Structure formats: structure tokens, C-alpha cells
């Protein structure tokens, strides 16, 4: 299990970490397998979506903000209840196939670290598991 350090610069931000994850996959040297991603935080998540047009990430964040506004009536008193809820909706774990030593992402897919309570220094756990024999 490797750990990537991710630095967010805004409260809510989708950070494209595809290149960094790809570097870990290549370093692992396995031709085929599964790349497991895990976010060890409660106000951040991980998702795969379009990386080409940054408007897509902006739309995802804006919709989450509309559905789960920062200042709702929430019980959690730390001012980041919305961030916990957004993380619960997006999820904290993901897996992406590896083929030919590379992430087998679809043409338009990128891996995003989903920050909902930044800016902060964050971690993303990455493990590359060998192919099923």
C-alpha cells in the first residue's frame, strides 16, 4: 500500500490525480491487476469522471453544493457537516483495472480526489493487486 500526498487549495475541489496514480502503477511493475484507491478521511472522497473538460468537475461540485448546502440546518457543530455528507454520497473507496501496466481507464476518464473541506494536505492510499490467475 502506497500513500499519495494530495494538497487541496479550495474548500471544495476535484483534483485530477490520474498521473500520480499511474506513476505508482507503473512503478509496481505488474502488467495486469487491479488498482485499489482508499481515502482515509471523512470529509473527502474519490471518484472517476471526465478529465478533459474542467466544466464537468465544476458541475459535479456545484450540484453537490446545491443538494447539500454548506449552511444547512445541521447538528454537527464543526461547520463542515455538508463535507461529511458529500463524502458519504461520493464514497471513499474505488478500484480501477490495470492492463498492460497502465490504468485501464476509459477514454475520457480521470481519477479525482474529491475535497469537500479544504484547503488541506490529504492522503490517498493506493494498492496495486496482481491479476487473478
Taking the C-alpha atoms of residue 20 and residue 125, their distance in angstroms, rounded to an integer, is 12
| Spatial separation of the C-alpha atoms in residues 76 and 4, rounded to whole Å | 29
Site string for a second copy, 91-110 (x = CB under 8 A): xxxxxxx-x----xxxxxx-
Output 26 or 105, the one with its CB closest to a second copy: 105
| The one segment of 4-12, 19-27, 49-57 that binds a second copy by CB under 8 A | 49-57
Of 4-12, 18-26, 42-50, the segment contacting a second copy by CB under 8 A is 42-50
Residue 55 in the binding site for a second copy (CB under 8 A):
yes
List the beta bridge partners of residue 44. Answer: 115
Binding of residue 53 to a second copy (CB under 8 A): yes
Residue-by-residue DSSP string for 63-122? HHHHHS-TTS--S-TTS-HHHHHHHHHH-SEEEEEEETTEE---TTEEEEEEESS-S-EE
| Part of the chain binding a second copy (CB under 8 A), chosen from 5-13, 15-23, 75-83 | 75-83
Count of H-run helices and E-run strands, the chain: 3, 8
72 binds a second copy (CB under 8 A): yes
In angstroms, the CA 26 to CA 126 distance is 12
Interaction site with a second copy (CB under 8 A): 1, 30, 32-34, 36, 38-42, 47-50, 53, 55-56, 58-60, 62-63, 67-68, 72, 74-78, 81, 84-85, 87-97, 99, 104-109, 123, 125, 127-133
Amino acid at each position: 500500500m502506497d500513500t499519495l500526498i494530495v494538497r487541496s487549495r479550495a474548500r471544495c475541489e476535484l483534483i485530477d490525480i490520474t498521473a500520480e496514480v499511474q506513476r505508482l502503477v507503473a512503478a509496481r511493475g505488474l502488467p495486469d491487476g487491479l488498482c485499489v484507491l482508499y481515502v482515509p478521511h471523512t470529509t473527502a472522497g474519490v471518484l472517476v469522471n471526465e478529465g478533459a473538460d474542467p466544466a464537468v468537475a465544476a458541475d459535479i461540485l456545484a450540484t453537490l453544493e446545491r443538494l447539500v448546502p454548506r449552511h444547512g440546518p445541521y447538528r454537527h457543530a464543526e461547520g463542515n457537516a455538508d463535507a461529511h455528507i458529500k463524502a458519504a454520497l461520493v464514497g471513499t473507496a474505488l478500484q480501477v483495472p490495470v492492463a498492460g501496466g497502465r490504468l485501464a481507464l476509459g477514454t475520457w476518464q480521470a481519477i479525482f480526489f474529491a475535497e469537500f473541506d479544504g484547503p488541506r494536505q490529504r492522503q490517498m492510499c493506493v494498492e496495486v493487486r496482481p491479476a487473478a490467475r
